[in-house]
Structure 1
Amino acid sequence: MKLSLFGQNVMIPSDVIAAWITSILLAIIIGFFIIKKRKFSMIWKYLRTTNHRRIGIMYILFGIIYFFRAGLDALFIRAQLAIPNNDFWVFQGEKYNEVFTTHGTLMIFFVAMPLLLGLMNIAVPLQIGARDLAFPFLNALGFWLFFAGSLFFNIAFFINMTPEVGWTGYTPLSRAEYTPGAGTEFYVFGLQISGLGTIFTALNLIVTIMRHRAPGMKYTRMPLFAWATLITSFLILIAFTVLAIALYLLMFDRLFGTGFFSGEEGDPIFWQHLFWIFGHPEVYILALPAFGIFSDIIATFSRKRIFGYPVMVVSITLIGFLGFMVWSHHMFTVGLGPMANTFFAITTMAIAVPTGIKVFNWLFTMRGGVIHFTTPMLFALGFIPSFVMGGVTGVMLSVSAADFQFHDTHFVVAHFHYVIIASTILGVFAGLYYWYPKITGYILDEKLGKWHFWTFLIGFHLTFFPMHITGLEGMPRRVYTYTQADGIFLLNAASTVGAFLMGISMLFAVWNVYITHKKGEKVGNDPWNGRTLEWTEASPAPEHTFEPMPIVDEIDAFWFAKIENRSLATTLAVRIKPLEQETIQPFFIAMALLVICTGLTFTWYWLTIAGAVLLFSLLIVRSFTDERESFYGKEDPYE
């Protein structure tokens, strides 16, 4: 089907038409549900909310939606690679490039990040005794910027302009000469907008953790998830700023013909340096919060204080620090020379030391404990051997000489997924099952949860373990076919079966949520017999928490108060709750930025100017909002 779009004739394939039809039908169904159930007031409330729990719920909701979208892309990839010389629908050549671009970009930026930020939003203020994040307005703005960026990136699919440069966006492929049209702009601006929101949220979390802890909660008494969030937020500030610079320069190369990544003055390798200065800390941005989740869950269900708490904190900090010293191990084959390769090989091996320490700490926490094999605990236990396998292959890849064999093969794909899925995705699942009572007031069914765990874990290993072997056999990544003579058919077929088993496992999770809410059985404050402050509050967590504020006098203060059959001491002499003034301004600010990027993408500069005027006007309106009077009242509580 041909369509005249933005002044050019565009051929729209059947899969895009099917997607349009599906989206229209889905919109009709959702619209009918809203009208029937009269949910307008709820939607309006969420559009205007600045409450940390509601914003966390929205992060998680859209992260899950994009998870299913990116998961379908993965199934398309595996279906194409199931048999040699496959001709699966239209997923070959250019279309295959588009599918693995959207799969990787969505999973990293629009699935893993929002799911973790959602859990941070919900759990961290409750764990440290804060009544909300320090800047509720900025928190809402951070979410809506993420939403605007993700919306902009996904729109490309519906107008047949999906980017095809991979999630890494390597130059010169991502320059206008090699990928003309507006497709790559959706990648550039989508990541720019959502990345800005992520930076705002990181700033908010840093201030909240440093300035809004409960009385007596010293840094040495914070839960490890709060510690991991703090270190991760500092990593985000640096890493996402570098990514923003790289995308900004690429935008100028594409739109205005500069030569930052080509020509006599520029160099495509500059992009690799900038991207991986972001990209490798991003691995730990995704992994460290999961480490914190696993630490809290393992301590809770082992009925023991975490083993070696100070060492755990130091190891988290070291991982964050060393994460900025290893980026060039992604570039061993580009010709940086033996000195650079040797330095980055050593730092890559060194980062395995604090990571290994954490594994032993988790094992020693469980040793001698009374272990309860709940669904969150099973995901934590499944993580340990899976992540260790990814760490071992990481050490193999750190040997620069060997990396010439491993580079750009399925071995690297296997390693990457063993690290990211084993840590981030299993961590998110564990966190969602663990904190679901605080999010909704319900506890998910344990039997269905265990079905979800086992089918996902088995499917995960069945998918990615054979890729180590196909990679060693020389199968390159980013290719859409292979031949019978390559001798890797059975291994690829096994990976495809495993991928579909992972997809099936998510049906158990969906059914679990449906059944749980259909039963409608609410739980109390502390269904897991928890150790930290969030379990002192009602389920779901109310808007106005910690009234009065608890006093923390040791690690796991709530746990030891229960053991000693006493209540936590409380005080009224604390910081007033941050202002939660409902406002629609963050939503419109994000939409104004989306309008600006739309104008730049299609060189409609009149639209860009209109969007800039709208954005500036909204910021002026915001500047006249003085929240201090409504925040403090007539008297300053500190005088």
Structure 2
Amino acid sequence: MTSIPLPSSLPRPPDELGRLERTWKTPAGWRFFSTVNNTNIGLLYIGTALLFFLLAGVLGLLMRVQLAVPDNTLLGAGTYNQVFTMHGTVMMFLFAIPVVEAIAVYLLPGMLGARDLPFPRLSAYAYWAYAIGGLAFFCTLFVGLAPDGGWFMYPPLTSTAYSPGMNADFWLLGIGFIEISAIAGAIELIVGILFTRAPGMTLARMPVYAWSMLVVGVMIVFAFPAIIAGTALLELERAFDWPFFIAERGGDPVLWQHLFWFFGHPEVYIIFLPAAGMVSTMIPTIAGQRLVGQRMVVIALVAVGFFSFALWAHHMFTAGLGLLSMAFVSAASMAVAVPTAIQVFAWIATLWKGTVRINGPTLFLLGFMFIFVLGGLTGVMVALVPFDWQAHDTYFIVAHLHYVLIGGMVFPVFAAMYYWIPLINGHALSERLARWVFGLMFVGFNVAFFPMHLTGLLGMPRRVYTYAPDLGWTGLNMASTVGAFIFAAGVLLFCVDAARTLKKAARRPGNPWNASTLEWLHSEDYATRSIPDIGSDYPLWDRPEMMEEVEAGRHWLPGTATGLRETIATSPVAGRPLYLMIVPGDSWWPLVAAAGTAGFFLLLTVKLHLLAWACGITAIASVIIWLWQSDRPPPLAAARVSDDVVLPVGASGPVSQSWWATVIMLVVDGTVFASFLFAYIHISMRLPVSCPPPNAALPTPVWPLLSCGLLLAGSALMVWARRRLSVEGGQRALRLAVIAAAACMAASFACDMAGQVLAGLDPSAQAWSATIGAMLGYQGLHAVLLLIVAAYLVARSWSGYLTPASRATMDNSALIWHYTTLQGLAFALAVNVMPLLMD
């Protein structure tokens, strides 16, 4: 179906628009903090990310003041270490990644023509965990507990021997759960992009920005688990003396670099690609011209995402890697410039063919292209191994990093704020002030960071808090400091203009830029009055009357069919309507769960164990209540969504959004385990004699065989339990099967534990045993999770909520169960078979 009959031939229900507005109304006053609407959460997200940008900027200015003149005593060495660590950490973890997810959470529902994304409570949880945890983490700076080992936290400097305080622990635990928040956001975005596009919006017609966020979501799923695993290993070393990174006991500090940069270099493109998607969305509008080579731009986005995972050792050329490895990574580092260049040339060609209007967004986009291309050129330079050996850990790298990140992300974000801020209250920022803001930021940036190339080539190392006056760096450092303050003046002027604009009375935004994308159909809290029917890549250009039709409710789902929040779920490729998706409404539980999660990690850091576990239990209970409320039988079996289309309400199995969210979550889970497995293989290959080492032993074969048999039995019981769900009177058998499966899981872990203990496993003795202990502990964590899942399933069955019409809990639980079985089998093979092959 490509269009809806216009005008509507069916009589419209009375008060159709009023019911829609009441259903989606944002709670007022203090109840606003229970909101889960992606529009509201997106604005909170953006505001919080910009706050962290300002805070990190202040830290950056402190660093520049310290380095403005030689032998400066403004900051001592210890304080400077905390300031530069927090500057990098806040910029990368609390601004750069969150702000691109925040903008996506705000823009994507409208851009896709959806009422909301599928899991607004998950978005709310991700935001509150990030905001509460991030602010608490930043406050460690005021009590002398801020991390001081650099934003990359390389051991052995961050091991207990050299960092005995809690400073490093705050980084490890705080950043670990903030990354969990980012992964939750990525799951929401992936499923939302694939399943909530407007009918007719095929993948080929999807906006380039949505494509960029889809690629980024997939990258987050595969890249971020490595840093979660790495932080867990380093915290285990610090807390329990498991020597993963201590060379004297078989560990390897380079293992941390592998795990960190497997996350860290894709992260650069995770930051850049959303900015590139925004640029590809804004440039056609400001040029009045369709994007040249749009399909090639999409292919280039995918290619950049693919290449980015081959680049992690780009940061490790001086770490002693083999020549073949360095040659491969060097080639990949240069190859990634090709798809990036395709996008740049497409933008230039679009501007060349169109009629460019010089305004706020245009200025920042032109500044972005100039600065980012310079950063890309220095990136090719440091991709060459001989040059990197000379420039590594000098201020040349600092300059390159800032040209890529500020040029490649901050300038597009400011262009985006000038472009999209009318969506908030209908008012644009001042064009006169925009020229001053851009001029100050562009000039200030280049004055601040271009001289750093020269100071680096003159030998100034990174992370020094002062320097002698006879080294020839003084003038260049003073120039950088002056430039930093000019840049800060531009940011301050923008903040003043934004505050002035957002204070104005709200009005309808309309389409001030004559844009082609659907977010300009924005209507109040429900994103769009009716869900548009899409027939082209540039719907608002190809069908100018669409804005009037949508506002009149003449497209899909003009009201609320069930009295609940709804959007239309469409097929992932063709954009064909599948079912009416019920979207969860406002709730306090995401906020309570996020506060409990943040409290658990932060209190655990300061050794308040009882309070920490109380917060952890609160978080788990809140999530259980939230899930209990969400999975209910739909109020209707089917509903009319247009004159001639009736769709089922809700779905189950592989068609449903929750099933796919669970699959993506398990991919994340599997990547965390793969990171632990990589650590085990890396340490095993470094053993000087044999595997296992002389002071360790393998379990007796009976224990892993018994464990694997119990795992398979548990999964078989879950398969049978799922079949009982569709059989009349099968609830009792279902409950017994789930309980038996839980017993098999617990017994399987007990066998694994018994086998390792009887074999003399001692994780504190040497790193090889520690890696086994880490994998065993991760499997035990899953065993505990499945015991909770089993209790939840039994409770749902007793309450009558586990039915063929409401079976998402059963289907998703079975997926988690089967994954845990596969993980247990992989653990058994790795620990019991791999050493025999390596011996």
State the match for 1:321 in structure 2.
Answer: 306
Deviation at 1:60, TM superposition (A): 1.0
State the match for 1:616 in structure 2.
Answer: 620
Question: 1-side partners of 2:73 and 2:613: how far apart?
Answer: 46
State the match for 2:792 in structure 1.
Answer: none
CA contact under 8 A between 1:148 and 1:194: conserved in structure 2? Answer: no
State the match for 1:392 in structure 2.
Answer: 377
Deviation at 1:389, TM superposition (A): 0.3
Deviation at 1:578, TM superposition (A): 4.2
State the match for 2:392 in structure 1.
Answer: 407
Given the alignment of the two structures, is residue 114 of structure 1 paired with residue 98 of structure 2, yes or no? yes
Question: 2-side partners of 1:152 and 1:256: how far apart?
Answer: 25
Given the alignment of the two structures, is residue 420 of structure 1 paired with residue 405 of structure 2, yes or no? yes
Question: 2-side partners of 1:596 and 1:239: how far apart?
Answer: 24
Query: Does the residue aligned with 1:549 lie in a helix, a strand or coil?
Result: coil
State the match for 1:127 in structure 2.
Answer: 111
State the match for 2:435 in structure 1.
Answer: 450
Moved more, 187-196 or 304-313: 187-196
Identity %: 38
Given the alignment of the two structures, is residue 340 of structure 1 paired with residue 325 of structure 2, yes or no? yes
State the match for 2:257 in structure 1.
Answer: 272
Question: 2-side partners of 1:363 and 1:339: how far apart?
Answer: 37
Question: 2-side partners of 1:422 and 1:565: how far apart?
Answer: 35
Deviation at 1:518, TM superposition (A): 4.6
Question: 2-side partners of 1:320 and 1:132: how far apart?
Answer: 26
Match runs of 1:288-367 below 5 Å: 288-367=273-352
Match runs of 1:236-635 below 5 Å: 236-262=220-246, 263-520=248-505, 522=507, 524-538=509-523, 542-562=524-544, 570-572=555-557, 574-575=568-569, 576=580, 578-629=582-633, 632-635=634-637
Moved more, 567-576 or 102-111: 567-576
CA contact under 8 A between 2:427 and 2:504: conserved in structure 1? Answer: no
Gaps of 5+ in 1: 1-39
State the match for 2:209 in structure 1.
Answer: 225
Question: 2-side partners of 1:565 and 1:580: how far apart?
Answer: 27
CA contact under 8 A between 2:590 and 2:626: conserved in structure 1? Answer: no
Deviation at 1:604, TM superposition (A): 2.6
State the match for 1:60 in structure 2.
Answer: 46
Q: 2:181 aligns with which of 197, 200, 212?
A: 197
CA contact under 8 A between 1:443 and 1:523: conserved in structure 2? Answer: no
Q: Residue by residue, what CA displacement relative to the aligned partner does 1:359-416 show, whole Å, maximum 9, x if unpaired?
A: 1000001112111112112111111111000000000000101111100000000000
Deviation at 1:254, TM superposition (A): 1.0
Question: 1-side partners of 2:32 and 2:271: how far apart?
Answer: 26
Q: Residue by residue, what CA displacement relative to the aligned partner does 1:149-187 show, whole Å, maximum 9, x if unpaired?
A: 202311312322111011111111111111111111111
Question: 2-side partners of 1:514 and 1:92: how far apart?
Answer: 36
The one-letter amino acid of 1:469's match is L
Change (3 A) 1:565 1:275: closer
Question: 1-side partners of 2:83 and 2:139: how far apart?
Answer: 14
Query: Does the residue aligned with 1:401 lie in a helix, a strand or coil?
Result: helix
Q: TM-score, normalised by structure 2?
A: 0.69
Change (3 A) 1:524 1:162: closer
CA contact under 8 A between 2:59 and 2:84: conserved in structure 1? Answer: yes
Moved more, 392-401 or 44-53: 44-53
The one-letter amino acid of 1:101's match is T
Match runs of 1:23-62 below 5 Å: 42=28, 44-62=30-48
Q: Residue by residue, what CA displacement relative to the aligned partner does 1:516-535 show, whole Å, maximum 9, x if unpaired?
A: 24554745311111110111
Query: Does the residue aligned with 1:570 lie in a helix, a strand or coil?
Result: coil
CA contact under 8 A between 1:531 and 1:559: conserved in structure 2? Answer: yes
The one-letter amino acid of 2:68's match is A
Change (3 A) 1:487 1:230: same
Question: 1-side partners of 2:258 and 2:466: how far apart?
Answer: 30
Q: 1:163 aligns with which of 147, 159, 162?
A: 147
Deviation at 1:620, TM superposition (A): 3.1
CA contact under 8 A between 2:113 and 2:528: conserved in structure 1? Answer: yes
CA contact under 8 A between 2:590 and 2:623: conserved in structure 1? Answer: no
State the match for 1:4 in structure 2.
Answer: none
Q: Residue by residue, what CA displacement relative to the aligned partner does 1:430-462 show, whole Å, maximum 9, x if unpaired?
A: 111111111233211111122111100110011
Change (3 A) 1:461 1:196: same
Change (3 A) 1:507 1:616: closer
The one-letter amino acid of 1:268's match is P
Deviation at 1:241, TM superposition (A): 1.0
Change (3 A) 1:248 1:564: closer
Question: 1-side partners of 2:203 and 2:28: how far apart?
Answer: 38
The one-letter amino acid of 2:241's match is G
Given the alignment of the two structures, is residue 147 of structure 1 paired with residue 149 of structure 2, yes or no? no
Q: Residue by residue, what CA displacement relative to the aligned partner does 1:283-340 show, whole Å, maximum 9, x if unpaired?
A: 0010000001111111110000100011000000000000000110100001112111
Gaps of 5+ in 2: 1-25, 559-567, 570-579, 640-646, 649-839
The one-letter amino acid of 2:400's match is H
Change (3 A) 1:611 1:511: closer
The one-letter amino acid of 2:615's match is G
Change (3 A) 1:440 1:116: farther
Deviation at 1:615, TM superposition (A): 2.5
State the match for 1:136 in structure 2.
Answer: 120
The one-letter amino acid of 1:86's match is N
CA contact under 8 A between 1:549 and 1:571: conserved in structure 2? Answer: yes
State the match for 1:87 in structure 2.
Answer: 73
CA contact under 8 A between 2:425 and 2:506: conserved in structure 1? Answer: no
CA contact under 8 A between 2:123 and 2:185: conserved in structure 1? Answer: yes
CA contact under 8 A between 1:443 and 1:522: conserved in structure 2? Answer: no
Pairs aligned (count):
593
The one-letter amino acid of 2:623's match is L
CA contact under 8 A between 1:561 and 1:567: conserved in structure 2? Answer: no
Q: 2:55 aligns with which of 69, 82, 87?
A: 69
Deviation at 1:514, TM superposition (A): 2.9
Q: Residue by residue, what CA displacement relative to the aligned partner does 1:181-238 show, whole Å, maximum 9, x if unpaired?
A: 1111111111112111110110010000001100110111111111101000111111
CA contact under 8 A between 2:313 and 2:329: conserved in structure 1? Answer: yes
